[in-house]
Structure 1
């Protein structure tokens, strides 16, 4: 289901004592090959025991609701993770009443995995905003953000760093220097699939713009997921294609 790509860089002295768990949250509306490639690149690292896919029923700050129902998006992640050792679907955000904030999810998982380093995968297009996420200080003292670059994304220059990186030190004044080293050293390779959920939604709603909208190769959607979402019909009707990637 996609190549593993190169390995994640590892940093921090405590990594010799702690295993790591990659947390892959998202709306997944729908799941696409870019998501799969990111998850495989994380799983390729020997220090990571597994990748937890954490579909979100509704993200509070999104302007428009997801096109597919929450249970359908949960099922898409189950289809992708089926028979893949190390891929696990975690429906913790479906068990919560009210909005699903990342900080609450991470705190709950921190209690479940007390001796594990939690890595929260962040798309490069969201990297500049994570220091403003709800309860950011508490969140990033519980988890390490791991940036997943996408084709065409560029890192930013930090005022205090000569190197370019997707995160700036001055945005995280509450993080210790040792922890900041982990922020810098845990990174993902760029995936080759230049695909987004919004692009897929648009092509499914406007099949005349796609050469072959029924083939996963043309859309960048794993075939079992494509068959499931075509049967559901959530994306074939015209509507807003804005939202999650």
Structure 2
């Protein structure tokens, strides 16, 4: 089975997250996408300290009508800082016979050389880069750590980097949905409509639980 992995704070999850997951699934023929809310992200403070339970519940509501999508609380169960490499090691053990595809934005890929134990990540799974207009990648090799650039080869006609491990970095065109969780939190605080930006079930949950109001 081919399994996509989409991590994030999902604070809150919105329609662009869902579209990114569907674009990756369609482009690469993935059987399932696991949405993995970060419990304690190492590089980001959670605005308003919205609990993991709330964020996980919103993800579950957002994906309820898609049989290819599922939510995983693996980072909460493990505890501690939510480093990508640790999550991938654990998922590799849980799905030893499956192909894993870790989905990130091009903004994250441009910064990937600074990630914790990034060299190990390239030996654990495939990476799917969703290209965004504000973070264009002119040279797919240049964001990689200098020490391992020679381990990759760019296949232009397939829009992917191949790695000597056998895994690849795939590049998927932007989904053209410019939505951010931070802007949505501001809109909610200002009592502005978020219709068509959030799944209705998530908007209802936020209203009922009265979160993001401060």
What is the TM-score when the length of structure 2 is the normalising length? Answer: 0.85
SS of equivalent residue, structure 1 residue 21: strand
Distance 1:39 1:115, change over 3 A: same
Cα offset, 1:47, TM superposition = 3.1
Say whether the 8 Å CA contact 2:187–2:193 is kept in structure 1.
Answer: no
Match of 1:195 among 157, 161, 179: 179
Alignment match, 1:111: 93
Alignment match, 2:61: 79
Question: Are 2:188 and 1:228 aligned?
Answer: no
Counterpart Cα distance in 2 of 1:75 and 1:84: 15
Alignment match, 1:5: none
Distance 1:169 1:126, change over 3 A: closer
Alignment match, 2:46: 65
- Count residues in correspondence: 203
Say whether the 8 Å CA contact 2:42–2:82 is kept in structure 1.
Answer: yes
Distance 1:166 1:234, change over 3 A: farther
SS of equivalent residue, structure 1 residue 187: strand
Cα offset, 1:153, TM superposition = 3.1
| 1:206-233 Cα deviation digits (max 9, x unpaired) | 23xxxxx23422xx11111111112222
Cα offset, 1:134, TM superposition = 1.1
Say whether the 8 Å CA contact 1:50–1:87 is kept in structure 2.
Answer: yes
Cα offset, 1:51, TM superposition = 0.4
**CA-based RMSD:** 2.2
SS of equivalent residue, structure 2 residue 163: helix
What is the TM-score when the length of structure 1 is the normalising length? Answer: 0.75
Question: Are 2:188 and 1:214 aligned?
Answer: no
Say whether the 8 Å CA contact 2:6–2:35 is kept in structure 1.
Answer: yes
Say whether the 8 Å CA contact 2:27–2:172 is kept in structure 1.
Answer: no
Counterpart Cα distance in 2 of 1:138 and 1:145: 12
Say whether the 8 Å CA contact 1:33–1:222 is kept in structure 2.
Answer: yes
Match of 1:155 among 137, 147, 150: 137
SS of equivalent residue, structure 2 residue 104: strand
SS of equivalent residue, structure 1 residue 48: coil
